C-alpha cells in the first residue's frame, strides 16, 4: 500500500526539501503552506515531473479548523495517512525578551507549538492501530535553539522548540504501543529564508565561524535525516533526536 505523508510548511526551505525527497522515496505527498501558493505549486509540479503524486493545501496550522480541514482533504485526495512531518515554524525580528509583547509570544507559540499538537492529534486519529489504522511515524522539526536558548535573538522561538522536544518525548511514549513512532530533528544554521524573518537574511555568514564544521547546512541535509527517521530502517527508534548542526 502507498505511503501518504503530510509535510507542514512544505512550500519552502526544509519542508520543500523534505516533500521532494519523500516523493523520491515513493510517498504521496501533501505540501501544506500558509500563503505562498506559487512556491507550494512549484514543489507539487517538481514531484509530478518525477512521476510522483502530490497536492498543495493551504492551511494555517495554528488554526484548529484549518488543521481539521487539511487532514480531511488528505483523506479524500491521497488516502490513508502514514506519516507526518511537523515542520512549519516561524521566528520574528531579533530582540531581547524585555522587548517582547504578548501578541508576538502568542504568534510564536501557537504557530510553533499548538500546530504540532493539533497536527499530531489528527495524524494519530488516522494512523493509530488502536483506531484501526496501520501505524505510522511522526517527525517534529525542533532546533538546536532548544538547547542553546538563542539569547539576544529569539528566546521565544528557542523556548517553543524546547516544548517540541518535550512533546516528542511524551508523545513517543504515549503512542509507542499504537504502532506510531515519534522522533525529532534539531537543525542548526540551515540556509533558508527563515533568517530574513528575523531581520538578518545573511545571518549564517555571521555565525558560521561558531560552527565546528565552519559552515551552514543545506535543507537537503535535514531532509535526509527526516526521511531516515520516517523509514523502516528506523523501526526501533522512537523518542529520539538527531542534531543536524555541523557539531554546534
- List of residues contacting ligand NAP (CB under 6 A): 8-9, 11-15, 32-36, 39, 60-62, 87-90, 111, 141, 143, 187, 189-190, 192-194
Nearer to ligand NAP, 175 or 225 (CB): 225
Of 27, 33, 154, 157, the catalytic one is 157
Nearer to ligand NAP, 162 or 179 (CB): 162
- Which of 166, 207, 168 is CA-nearest to residue 188? 207
In order of 15, 108, 157, 171, the CA distances from 163 in angstroms are: 20, 12, 10, 12
Nearer to ligand NAP, 61 or 83 (CB): 61
CB of 206 to ligand NAP, least distance (A): 13
What is the rounded end-to-end Cα distance, in angstroms, of the chain? 40
CB of 120 to ligand NAP, least distance (A): 14
CB of 20 to ligand NAP, least distance (A): 13
CA distance 111 to 234: 28
Task: Say if residue 101 is exposed, middle or buried (CB neighbours under 10 Å; 0-12, 13-18, 19+).
Answer: exposed
Is the CB of residue 145 less than 8 Å from the CB of residue 201?
no
CB of 178 to ligand NAP, least distance (A): 25
Determine the distance from the C-alpha atom of residue 90 to the mean position of all C-alpha atoms in its chain, rounded to a whole number: 11
Nearer to ligand NAP, 128 or 184 (CB): 184
Active site residue 157: yes
Catalytically active residues, by annotation: 157
Amino acid at each position: 500500500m502507498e505511503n501518504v505523508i503530510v509535510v507542514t510548511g512544505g512550500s519552502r526551505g526544509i519542508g520543500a526539501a523534505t516533500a521532494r525527497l519523500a516523493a523520491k522515496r515513493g510517498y504521496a505527498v501533501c505540501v501544506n503552506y500558509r500563503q505562498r501558493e506559487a512556491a507550494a505549486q512549484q514543489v507539487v509540479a517538481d514531484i509530478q515531473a518525477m512521476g510522483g503524486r502530490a497536492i498543495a493545501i493551504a492551511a494555517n496550522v495554528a488554526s484548529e479548523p484549518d488543521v481539521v480541514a487539511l487532514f480531511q482533504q488528505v483523506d479524500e485526495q491521497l488516502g490513508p495517512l502514514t506519516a507526518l512531518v511537523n515542520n512549519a515554524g516561524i521566528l520574528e525580528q531579533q530582540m531581547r525578551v524585555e522587548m517582547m509583547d504578548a501578541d508576538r509570544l502568542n504568534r510564536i507559540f501557537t504557530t510553533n507549538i499548538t500546530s504540532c499538537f493539533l497536527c499530531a492529534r489528527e495524524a494519530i486519529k488516522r494512523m493509530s492501530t488502536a483506531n484501526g489504522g496501520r501505524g505510522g511515524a511522526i517527525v517534529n522539526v525542533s532546533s538546536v535553539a532548544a538547547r542553546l536558548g538563542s539569547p539576544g535573538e529569539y528566546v521565544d522561538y528557542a523556548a517553543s522548540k524546547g516544548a517540541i522536544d518535550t512533546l516528542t518525548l511524551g508523545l513517543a511514549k504515549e503512542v509507542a504501543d499504537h504502532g506510531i513512532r515519534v522522533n525529532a530533528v534539531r537543525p542548526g544554521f540551515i540556509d533558508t529564508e527563515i533568517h530574513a524573518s528575523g531581520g538578518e537574511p545573511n545571518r549564517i555568514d555571521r555565525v558560521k565561524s561558531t560552527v565546528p564544521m565552519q559552515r551552514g547546512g543545506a535543507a537537503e541535509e535535514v531532509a535526509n535525516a527526516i526521511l531516515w527517521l520516517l523509514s523502516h530502517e528506523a523501526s526501533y527508534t522512537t523518542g529520539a533526536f538527531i542534531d543536524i548542526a555541523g557539531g554546534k
